[in-house]
Amino acid sequence: MRNQSQIDSEKRTATLPFIITFVIMIGFWLIFSGKFDLFHLSLGVVSCLLVTFFSSDLLFPTGLKTDFLACWVRFALYVPWLLYQILLANLHVLRLSFHPRMMALIDPHIIEFNSHLESDIARTTFANSITLTPGTITVNVSAMGRFTVHCIDVASGDPLPGEMERQIERIFKE
């Protein structure tokens, strides 16, 4: 009896990722095909159903958290801030590479710090954000949350982890 209800609840939790994956797939299909007649739409629905059936557990491997929608909204709010940081840091590296006394200005070194971000997705976002902002490249992230980062000079490595980690912490609510 209890076993049966467990299977039922697993089925219910698996339906929502299925639907979301399908919606994402059909969205991409519509954008990429650009044809809205019945033939292409039905082809799209069939192939998206097939792909969703095979791989809906790949997009959400741990199942959905309850506040995933709010999570996406917070992530969308984070993107403009990240773009602004990328612009600032890009200008910095641009100035470095055009600077006549470049060798005197740069000071490549490797820093390490511990992050208290727990989940895989938060760590991945953090590591990719570090690599996207120029002047810093994530070399390694250990399973314990220890980040190894290569910095081009002292100024670009200074603000880590700091503000960016707080922002990501707020997105994923840890």
Tokens 């511990």, residue? 114
Closer to other proteins by Cβ: residue 80 or 108? 108
Closer to other proteins by Cβ: residue 13 or 119? 119
> Least CB distance from residue 57 to other proteins, whole Å?
20
Amino acid at 12: R
Which of 20, 27, 25 minimizes the C-alpha distance to 60?
A: 20
State the alpha helices, DSSP H only, in 34-149.
Answer: 38-59, 68-98, 102-105, 120-132
> Least CB distance from residue 11 to other proteins, whole Å?
31
> Least CB distance from residue 159 to other proteins, whole Å?
16
Q: Which residues bind other proteins (CB under 8 A)?
A: 31-32, 34, 86-87, 89-90, 93-94, 96-98, 102-103, 106-110, 127-129, 131-135, 137-140, 150, 152
What is the three-class DSSP state of 156? helix
